[in-house]
Amino acid sequence: MASLKDVAKLANVSLMTVSRALNSPERLKPETLSRVQSAIDATQYVPDLSAKKIRGAHAIPNTIGVLALDTVTTPFSVEITLSIEETARAHGWNSFVVNMFSDDSPENIVDLLLSHRPDGIIYTTMGLRQVPLPEKLLGLPCALANCESLHQPVASYIPDDEKGQYSVVQALLSAGYRRPLCLHLPVNHLATARRRKGLEKACREAGIDPDKLDHCYMEYGDEHYRDIPDMLMAHIHHGRAHFDSVVCGNDRIAFMVYQTLLSQRLRIPQDVAVVGYDNMVGIGHLFLPPLSTVQLPHYEIGRLSALHIINGETHRKTVEVESPLLFRESV
């Protein structure tokens, strides 16, 4: 990678002249500036933004540092970081991402993030969860995206899981289904209890006792999606379902439900209706028939968390972001 010295040598000017060309071009003669710019192009020199920020250069855009815990390494929540990047650029800011994996030392990763001298921090996670927030992050404007702080009050932007689940179950019951089988995410997932509250509210409003429904919880771990067919088959006897619909904890569960029902020659939605949750990236609209589900508002969460930093907001509230219902032909 070319250095400042390489540019100065090719342009036959001093290091100070190259620095002025980058930071205060109006102070140079046009012919000198042109020669330096040509040398920059020829050497493919890339300015060191973090170093320039330390020196106090005024032309450098503000920067959001994104601490991403599994967010950009899985396909399910990548829209959060995409939205942060697009929102930052739209407002003349930059952003960069530092990945943190489950076996990383949080202290070392935070030091790496801060070494780039960001003007604000967004801590984001794949899947709603509560996180211990490293104290060092609190020295800068900070917001949490798709997660909540375990201890300190920090601005958090999360999905409204209770209202989202309420909306899809209400639509299911309004369509005439009365005996849903409920296949939940693992008990220890933060979203599980909140979504069940929404389900129970919709059931009670429809005159159905939610405690008399069949509730099944999958075990923690991706390998346990393979348990879903057995859970479903426990409620199907001699080709007849003892339920008229299935409320799925997410679209991945719904995918397994579709396969199992169709293997039993049960039609969707004529025999059994199915609803999901998440609008899984790249998959949600490909179900046959198309799956009724709830959109996790990851893009909006990223946008709001970025604006929190850009606009200098100071509140420390948890903001629940609407999760829209996508009503399709599976009901």
- Under 8 Å between Cβ of 102 and 70: yes
Q: What is the pLDDT of residue 49?
A: 54
- Token readout for 71 is 């967010």
Q: Note if the pTM is more than 0.95.
A: no
- Count CB-CB contacts under 10 A for residue 311: 10
The CA-based angle 137-140-144, given to 5 degrees, is 60
**Coil, helix or strand for 300?**
helix
150-203: per-residue pLDDT in tens? 888 999 999 999 999 999 999 999 999 999 999 999 999 999 999 999 999 999
Mode of pairing for the β-strands spanning 63-69 and 94-100: parallel
Domains of the chain (ranges; CATH) run 4-54 (1.10.260.40), 63-160+298-324 (3.40.50.2300), 161-294 (3.40.50.2300)
Q: What is the pLDDT of residue 54?
A: 46
**Nearest to residue 96, comparing CAs of 77, 125, 76, 116?**
116
Give the whole-number percent of the chain exceeding pLDDT 70: 94
Please state, in angstroms and rounded to a whole number, the distance separating the CA atoms of residues 170 and 158: 22
211-221: per-residue pLDDT in tens? 999 999 999 98
Q: Which residues are CB-neighbours of 300 under 8 A, at least 6 positions away?
A: 83, 321, 322
Please state, in angstroms and rounded to a whole number, the distance separating the CA atoms of residues 87 and 101: 25
- Under 8 Å between Cβ of 145 and 122: yes
